[in-house]
Structure 1
């Protein structure tokens, strides 16, 4: 069953639906792996075994009755330590909030739980989510999967590490200025930075509320789509291919975003653009020199 730790969340969900995977056994596999992992204290701030076990037992019962709530019903995930969860400490990676225990779940946690996602626990993060490195001398600095002695990128550092080290099927993080995207890239994962306002921030410790967003860190794009659906309580977008995009027009920003880009990401980006064109879309290069100033002043914008 150790292979479950490296299986996509979508495939775990399909295994549960087919009766090949017991949600309780799945949860215990992840929990045992966490508890015995040499880096667990650098990845998880605290675990939620009682809650997770109860959620897994309920998911098993639904699966046996053919009454699953979503594609990810019964799949264990981790939560960044800025999402409130009732009766469990939520400290946002800072000693300033040490001992803070909310009375209710963050809205996205409540929604995801209602669709059957199973909670493993809270992951370490950059202090108050204010760092793209993932370094946190106040609580813990999560490891990078490519070098356990290095930082994992922030601020959703432990979220990325929990998936990359096989200690969660997927993770929920937040992104204000790169906090999902950076650790996802550094740990060979897929990170989804959602549009501001798409997911509710109620019960999420804020950094800069006008910029804060919630997003998953996953093994692949399918998992990211299913996690987004679970977080917003809706149905996942179509994943059967691009289909016909004739008549659609996309802007490809050329200012700043392509600067200092390594060959591999540049090639992947070019391939994605060509796939859009092959599906019938028009892709128009867009220069926007006016964003250069705000980009260089982003830190000031986030703190005002």
Structure 2
């Protein structure tokens, strides 16, 4: 049964369908593993034992009656602590929301529960989701699975580590600038940033209303496809029969290849070579307009975040980690007409990007230019924190700024990922391409 902790969500679902795994037993194996784990309190904010057991029992009864609701009915997953859970605290990694207990589930959790997924609990996160590092001195900082002295990536830090340490079959996080994909790549997982607006954010704590998205952190592309299906209540994406032979990928060069550290660069280059060997054509591509998009991103993000958090910050800002406070409060200085002008300019850049990338099946780039930074150094060196946070978020932010769907997959190098971006709305096609890339990298 301990093998279940490391199985893909898809394989667990198949085991339940075949009568080889009882969801009740599966749930207990996960709950026992969580409760016994020395890192439990750095990964989970709270474990929802009663809810998980009740949902697992219902899934077991459905399986025995031949009435399963989805391929993942009965599979236990974790939820980032910004998704509302009825009667269970949801505090978004900040002391400003301590004691907040919602009365209803977030919409995506409601749908996922209706598809049979079992909620194991709520995972730690960066404070208010506003950092890509995963460092949170206010609540807890989970460790990176490959280096316990390093941060795990954020802001869905506990989400990524719950899967990487075998304490959830999959996890649900949010991605505003990379917060699903950074902890996925640094913990050797698959992470999907869905198209903005594809999944509802009702009942989730907002960071930036124009960029917030919901997405899964998983062990495989198949898992990502099945979890996406469960989150939106649709039909699973068919991943069969996809080949890289004849596919044409753009290898983005603008900004994303700057300041690449040696290990991420070599890992990315090795991954690209494998894709070429599998039959894909790789074409270097410059999109000069992206430089301006990155210049604009600071005020776009901080103003949006400040609009959502200004009232709580005015009342309880002294409870925040000062690095996060400073980042949010900068948005106070952005004037409304400047914010609107920036969005007009960003829409024009999005059109230029779409035109430049239209001839390609997908756009490739390194998931991150850096490896997971040292936690202690982040805590003691202000300039190091600021520099590493900007670099951690840089490459992933392309997809958020350009309104894309994005997928990160692990390379053969620990904590190094390769990222695929496609046009917004093409999530299903992205997953199909991702399945072929995953096979080529195996």
TM-score of the superposed pair, with normalisation by structure 1? 0.93
Contact 2:244 2:278 survives alignment (8 Å)? no
Structure number with the bigger relative contact order (C-alpha 8 A, sep ≥ 6) is 2
User: Distance in 2 between the 1:207 and 1:245 partners?
Assistant: 40
Structure number, greater radius of gyration: 2
Mapping of residues 195-274 of structure 1, within 5 Å:
195-242=195-242, 251-259=250-258, 260=260, 261-272=264-275
User: Distance in 1 between the 2:219 and 2:22 partners?
Assistant: 21
User: Distance in 1 between the 2:226 and 2:245 partners?
Assistant: 22
User: Distance in 2 between the 1:185 and 1:68 partners?
Assistant: 32
Mapping of residues 126-145 of structure 1, within 5 Å:
126-145=126-145
| Pairwise CA distance, 1:303 | 1.4
| Pairwise CA distance, 1:253 | 3.0
Partner secondary structure for residue 298 of structure 2: helix
User: Distance in 1 between the 2:117 and 2:225 partners?
Assistant: 14
Partner secondary structure for residue 217 of structure 1: strand
**Cα RMSD (Å):** 1.9
Which structure features the higher share of helix residues? Answer: 2
- The aligned length equals 299
Change (3 A) 1:243 1:266: closer
Contact 2:83 2:205 survives alignment (8 Å)? yes
Q: Which has the higher mean CA deviation after the structures are superposed, 289-298 or 223-232?
A: 289-298
Q: 1:34 aligns to what?
A: 34
Partner secondary structure for residue 239 of structure 1: coil
| Pairwise CA distance, 1:193 | 1.0
Change (3 A) 1:84 1:22: same
Q: Deviations over 1:33-86 (max 9, x none)?
A: 101100000000011111111110010011101111111000000000000111
TM-score of the superposed pair, with normalisation by structure 2? 0.65
Change (3 A) 1:239 1:291: same
User: Distance in 1 between the 2:252 and 2:277 partners?
Assistant: 15
| Pairwise CA distance, 1:179 | 0.7
Q: 2:292 aligns to what?
A: 293
Partner secondary structure for residue 83 of structure 2: coil
Change (3 A) 1:276 1:101: farther
Q: Deviations over 1:240-267 (max 9, x none)?
A: 1315997x87655332233425211233
| Pairwise CA distance, 1:271 | 3.6
Q: 1:94 aligns to what?
A: 94
Change (3 A) 1:80 1:184: same
Contact 2:249 2:280 survives alignment (8 Å)? no
Segments of 5+ residues of structure 2 without an aligned counterpart are 304-442
